Structure 1
Amino acid sequence: MRGPALDPELKALLADMQLSTELTPEMLQAIRQMPSQPFKTDAERHDVTLGEIELTVFRPKGITPAGCVYWIHGGGMVMGDRFSQIDIPLQWLTELGVAVVTVEHRLAPEATGTTQVEDCYRGLLWAAGELGIGTIVVAGISAGGGLAAGVTLMARDLVGPRIAAQVLICPMLDHRNDSPSSRQYEGVPGVWTREMNEFGWRSVLGDATDVSPYVSPALAEDLSGLPPTYVDTGTAEVFRDEDVAYAARLWAAGGDAELHTWAGGFHGFDAIFPDAALSRRARRTRTEWLARKLSG
């Protein structure tokens, strides 16, 4: 079953990348040894260690932050660090005047079950209690988007901290990995395929049958009482259908949710190629939504 066509500009950019269908333990080890991508910022920075996890706080210079974005990085639950895709929230820092807290949670397969979402929730509690910023937005991309959804569910169920909004960028929400869009990207070399997704989920869950909705938020029976939510995804990616379904379930529960499904976008397209025309549109739309929620 063939998936939707890629955006022509993104397709041309992808042609220069070495793509695969699978992720193996050996490939993962090699990826983990690669250095973090460099980034530039004029923001004030300090690092915090909370037991097994680390946080970095970025603050805009010379102003009182308009809010705090708690950022959770992507990487399929198995790779990445707190500076992965950091340019996305740092753009919000520059344009919207928010502080950014980014969390380095433990990774699978070393950390399994609910460990990662509990790490992220622990960091969120610290940020809410120590920074003195009342408005907190939880945001994440890919696996980080799934963890952001799980943390937001956890904050609702444990009665705090209060989250003003959540931004879920191409989130990894459903361990069942059996949607039509997932099957469309099976056996097809790409940035994130059905086979890679299976590797990531198996690394977290093993053969477990009792899966927490905090880990796989698509399992949550009740999506009421959640904060305003932004969900975006591409039409040409594994997570398309589970992301659309999550937004629809938020609406069905009476929630405030905005969904954007970018035609021709592959998984994480605007993180990988931020200067492509479709990426600029996606980032601008997301930033404008967040600005409205912060001002409201």
Structure 2
Amino acid sequence: MKSTRFWKCCLLTALLICASKPVWAIKYDIEIIVFEHTRKTAVGISDTLLFPVIPDAVALPQLYSLENLDALENPIQPLTQLRLHEHADSISNSANHRLLYHGGWRQPDYDQETAPYIQIAIGPELPMFVERREEKAEEEEGEEEVEFLKGYAELPLLPQPPLNSLPQPGSAIPADTTFPDIATQPSIPVLNLEEATSAKLYGGIKVWVGRFLHFDTMLAYTPRGGTRSFQFKSDRRMRSRQLHYIDNTRVGIITKIFPVDDTAPN
């Protein structure tokens, strides 16, 4: 009897101790260095411009407002202190690479379903026309989700028709009839195209936690003045506190993820 009471007291004490300890919320500091390779290559280039589909992406510049941060249940905050300066300086001093961005953000330990994409828009704005997605009530089983829309710097044109297909002088056609300039008619109906704004490097990065940390990229890189893009899509599994390099034919990303104990005493 005494033994039973003893163990009950031990169990109750243990529960009280656990309840008194703070629940430490784990967050992550994600620091990235984005750069382009100065060497020119056409390996991996698409046949059109590309516009990544990243719904509900979070744009970091908008999060500098403290009012916005307070209103968010799980805010994502831009990093104010960076640690990878040595690597960024090395890239800046390299003749083979050009630094595009060095920064990062802090986020909670999202899982794959709840993690948002962080919007990436580096370089001058790039206006384009993209193919409008067809809205469907339900996704067909086995149908792949559209990840990149085809884009065009200008409205696509039909090829010039043969001369013998145009109306000939003297034919039985009223003299006041006018014919549109067929060479300027779009090959895709204008109703199926919509205006969009991209950038030299545009898309999103998504970091989420499963058994490992996952670093997903959904990016399109378009050289200056180019009419075709390079797709930069990846899903890298990684561990925290380790430096990782994610390469593409024209762009590279160096990243290091640091776990943050948000409620533990400093």
TM-score w.r.t. the length of structure 1 is: 0.24
Greater RCO (CA < 8 Å, at least 6 residues apart): 2
- What TM-score do the two structures reach when normalised by structure 2? 0.25
Q: Which has the higher strand share?
A: 2
- Rg (Cα) greater in structure: 2
